[in-house]
């Protein structure tokens, strides 16, 4: 037998390198592991954060037009947005179209040096949300599925509201749960939280009165003789229990978390009477209900054409929803235990494409972009890293997607040495090991 071989629990022979990679060595093995990633901060035993709200700006928002303005770079870079405004934290300036967000800068920190260098939506979205590069042959789960695995039903979560919720539409081809399997996929609400009623797929259906719901339920109960005969079959029992839980959401109190009409009308106005604004409000309600991971899937940032026209409508909408969410969470004492993570899969090209057919557009830019983090143990009022004078590259303190995700996991009390089960019987680390040639930075230390 070769010395380098280690027998895993399932009788498979694998090399030491693989064993390190899949975390099979156990604690004795970990002693070897200067190989394992140096985390941004020591492992926190107690979780500071209970929930994550991920505001996912699908398409990739321009970093120059949001949290990393470059008025000095000239018109070909900053376009018409050349008057960034001061925030309530001295020295931090952001885009002039975000005045409300500027007043909340003492609640968040801006990472201006996010980088992965990938310019394709699918791949970049995968890397940013899983913390893994795509070429290792595995389909890794995204942060929401990881949190759902670590903090959901398997970890004693008792809520009937699913532990991982996407407001409103799922991310389509992006496989959120990866190798963890469909059990850890998010529940997507569907519908529009700004409409009355807010149709939540499976929970609130327009056109069916409560009386008819109850009549139907009784009819079903009378006709479901097969289920009664197979009483004791584990799958049938599971289906019946699931049905009962589903009715708690449809007819019972558990579904009320989605009823935004219970909120103060003025507060609803502040969030903005649009789908994004009301999604932010819903996210806060879900946090109050104990849901550990909420993604607000917020599309519309892929501005190849007429970037500035789009930004003039998009940013005020974002500004209201995002700033109100931070303030409301803080007012209700929830911000300390809730991570708000906002950003997209990449930034946009700093040099503006003025020519036809783009007419002032910006393209994909994975070389450098921004993410904003708030709450849940992240220190506010900081800027981490910076881009160069034209916003084309990282100037200092690069932050990689795996840095950010391991920080979020830590604050959620998920230990970095945790592994996830792969159907092949492997144990896969949460984030890629240093042994794979992955660089980790300690840039996030200052805000942890």
Partner 1 sequence: MITKINIFATCVLFFLISSVQIFPQWTRDDPPQNGKIKANNFIDELVFDKLSKKHITPSPVCSDEVFLRRVFLGVTGALPANKEVRSFLADKNPDKRKILIDKLLASDEFADYWAMKWSDILRVKAEFPSNLWPVAAEAYHRWIRTCIVQNMPYDKFAYALLTSSGSNFKTPQVNFYRAMPKKDPLSILNAVALPLMGSRAQKWTDEERYGMAVFFAKVGYKNTQEWKEEIVYFNEEGKFLNPKTGKPQELTFLDGERVSLSPGKDPREAFANWLISPDNKWFAKNVVNRIWYWLMGKGIINEPDDIRPDNPAQNEKLLARLEKELIKNDYDLKSIYKAILNSNTFQLSSLPTDNNQNYEADFSHYYVRQLNAEVLIDAIDNITGTGEPYSSLTPEPYTYIPEDEKTVSLADGSITSPFLEIFGRPPRDTGFELERNNAPTIQQRLHLLNSTHIQKKLQGSQTIKNIISANKNIKDIIINLYINILSRYPTQAEGKTAENYFTVVNKNKTEAAVDLAWALINTKEFSFQH
Site for partner 1 in 165-204 (CB under 8 A): 170, 173, 175, 178-179, 181-183, 185, 187-188, 190-191, 199, 201-203
Minimum CB–partner distance for residue 407 and partner 1 (Å): 26
Minimum CB–partner distance for residue 193 and partner 1 (Å): 15
Q: Give the binding range for partner 1 (CB under 8 A) out of 71-79, 216-224, 265-273, 373-381.
A: 216-224
The residue among 236 and 395 lying less far from partner 1, judged by its C-beta, is 236
Q: Give the binding range for partner 1 (CB under 8 A) out of 3-11, 40-48, 333-341, 402-410.
A: 3-11
**How crowded is the C-beta side of 58, counted as CA atoms within 13 Å?**
18
Q: Under DSSP, is residue 394 helix (H, G, I), strand (E, B) or coil?
A: strand
Q: Give the binding range for partner 1 (CB under 8 A) out of 7-15, 144-152, 333-341, 431-439.
A: 7-15
- Looking at 25, 33, 47, 239, which residue binds partner 1 (CB under 8 A)? 239
Minimum CB–partner distance for residue 234 and partner 1 (Å): 9
Cis amide bond preceding 357, omega within 30: yes
- Looking at 162, 277, 321, 344, which residue binds partner 1 (CB under 8 A)? 162
> Residue 155 interacts with partner 1 (CB under 8 A)?
no
> What's the rounded Cα separation, in Å, for the pair 322 and 47?
24
User: What one-character DSSP code corresponds to residue 431?
Assistant: S
- Looking at 227, 267, 289, 435, which residue binds partner 1 (CB under 8 A)? 227
Q: Give the binding range for partner 1 (CB under 8 A) out of 4-12, 266-274, 346-354, 391-399.
A: 4-12
> Residue 225 interacts with partner 1 (CB under 8 A)?
yes
- Looking at 42, 357, 423, 437, which residue binds partner 1 (CB under 8 A)? 423
Residues 250-309 that bind partner 1 (CB under 8 A): 250
- By rule CB under 8 A, what count of residues binds partner 1? 71
> What's the rounded Cα separation, in Å, for the pair 361 and 345?
18
Minimum CB–partner distance for residue 311 and partner 1 (Å): 24
Q: Annotate 184-228 with three-state secondary structure.
A: HCCEECCCCCCCCCCCCCCCCCCCCCHHHHHHHHHHHHHHCHHHH
The residue among 149 and 187 lying less far from partner 1, judged by its C-beta, is 187
Minimum CB–partner distance for residue 250 and partner 1 (Å): 5
Minimum CB–partner distance for residue 200 and partner 1 (Å): 9
> Residue 11 interacts with partner 1 (CB under 8 A)?
yes
DSSP code string of 308-371: HHHHHHHHHHHHHHHHHHHHHHHHTT-GGGEEEEEE-S-EE-SS-B-STTTSSB--EE-SSEEE
Residues 122-141 that bind partner 1 (CB under 8 A): 122, 126, 134-139
The residue among 181 and 360 lying less far from partner 1, judged by its C-beta, is 181
Minimum CB–partner distance for residue 436 and partner 1 (Å): 14
Residues 12-41 that bind partner 1 (CB under 8 A): 12-15
Minimum CB–partner distance for residue 218 and partner 1 (Å): 8
**How crowded is the C-beta side of 134, counted as CA atoms within 13 Å?**
15
Report long-range pairs for 273-278 (Cβ below 8 Å, ≥24 apart): 273/194, 274/194, 274/317, 274/321, 275/168, 275/192, 275/193, 275/194, 276/317, 276/318, 276/321, 277/194, 277/317, 277/320, 277/321, 277/324, 278/192, 278/193, 278/194, 278/198
The residue among 123 and 386 lying less far from partner 1, judged by its C-beta, is 123
Minimum CB–partner distance for residue 429 and partner 1 (Å): 17
Tokens of 204: 């609130």
Could you tell me if 443 and 384 are in contact, meaning their C-beta atoms sit under 8 angstroms apart? yes
Could you tell me if 105 and 324 are in contact, meaning their C-beta atoms sit under 8 angstroms apart? no
> Residue 9 interacts with partner 1 (CB under 8 A)?
no
Q: Give the binding range for partner 1 (CB under 8 A) out of 8-16, 58-66, 71-79, 288-296.
A: 8-16
The residue among 74 and 172 lying less far from partner 1, judged by its C-beta, is 172
Number of H helices, E strands in the chain: 13, 18
257 class by beta-carbon count within 10 Å (0-12 exposed, 13-18 middle, 19+ buried): buried
Minimum CB–partner distance for residue 177 and partner 1 (Å): 9
> What's the rounded Cα separation, in Å, for the pair 132 and 242?
34
Could you tell me if 325 and 338 are in contact, meaning their C-beta atoms sit under 8 angstroms apart? no
The residue among 27 and 226 lying less far from partner 1, judged by its C-beta, is 226
> Residue 154 interacts with partner 1 (CB under 8 A)?
no
> Residue 2 interacts with partner 1 (CB under 8 A)?
yes
Sequence-ordered alpha helix ranges (H) in 8-142: 16-21, 26-30, 75-78, 99-102, 121-130
């Amino acid at each position: 037998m070769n010395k380098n071989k280690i027998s895993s629990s399932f009788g498979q022979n694998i090399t030491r390198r693989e064993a390190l990679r899949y975390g099979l060595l156990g604690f004795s093995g970990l002693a070897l592991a200067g190989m394992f990633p140096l985390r941004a901060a020591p492992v926190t035993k107690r979780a500071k954060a209970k929930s994550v709200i991920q505001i996912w700006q699908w398409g990739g928002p321009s970093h120059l037009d949001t949290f990393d303005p470059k008025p000095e770079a000239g018109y070909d870079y900053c376009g018409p947005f050349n008057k960034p405004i001061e925030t309530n934290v001295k020295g931090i300036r952001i885009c002039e179209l975000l005045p409300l967000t500027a007043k909340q800068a003492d609640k968040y920190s801006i990472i201006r040096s996010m980088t992965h260098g990938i310019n394709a939506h699918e791949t970049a979205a995968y890397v940013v949300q899983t913390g893994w590069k795509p070429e290792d042959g595995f389909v890794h789960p995204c942060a929401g599925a990881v949190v759902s695995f670590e903090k959901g039903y398997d970890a004693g979560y008792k809520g009937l509201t699913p532990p991982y919720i996407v407001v409103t539409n799922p991310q389509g081809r992006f496989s959120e749960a990866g190798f963890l399997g469909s059990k850890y996929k998010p529940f997507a609400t569907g519908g529009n939280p700004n409409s009355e009623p807010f149709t939540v797929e499976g929970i609130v259906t327009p056109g069916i009165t409560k009386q008819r719901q109850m009549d139907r339920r009784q009819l079903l109960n009378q006709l479901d003789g097969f289920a009664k005969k197979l009483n004791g079959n584990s799958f049938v029992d599971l289906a019946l229990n699931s049905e009962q839980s589903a009715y708690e959401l449809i007819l019972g109190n558990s579904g009320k978390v989605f009823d935004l009409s219970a909120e103060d009308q003025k507060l609803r106005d502040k969030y903005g009477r649009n789908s994004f604004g009301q999604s932010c409000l819903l996210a806060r309600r879900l946090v109050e209900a104990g849901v550990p991971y909420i993604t607000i899937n917020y599309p519309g940032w892929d501005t190849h054409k007429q970037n500035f026209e789009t930004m003039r409508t998009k940013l005020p909408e974002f500004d209201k929803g995002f700033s109100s969410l931070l303030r409301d969470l803080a007012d209700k004492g929830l911000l300390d235990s809730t991570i708000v993570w906002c950003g997209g899969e990449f930034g946009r090209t700093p040099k503006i494409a003025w020519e036809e057919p783009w007419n002032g557009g910006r393209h994909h830019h994975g070389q450098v972009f921004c993410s904003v983090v708030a709450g849940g143990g992240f220190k506010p009022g900081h800027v981490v890293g910076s881009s160069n004078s034209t916003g084309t590259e990282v100037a200092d303190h690069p932050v990689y997607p795996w840095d950010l995700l391991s920080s979020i996991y830590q604050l959620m009390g998920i230990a970095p040495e945790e592994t996830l089960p792969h159907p092949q019987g492997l144990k896969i680390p949460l984030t890629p090991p240093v042994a794979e040639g992955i660089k980790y930075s300690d840039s996030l230390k200052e805000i942890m």
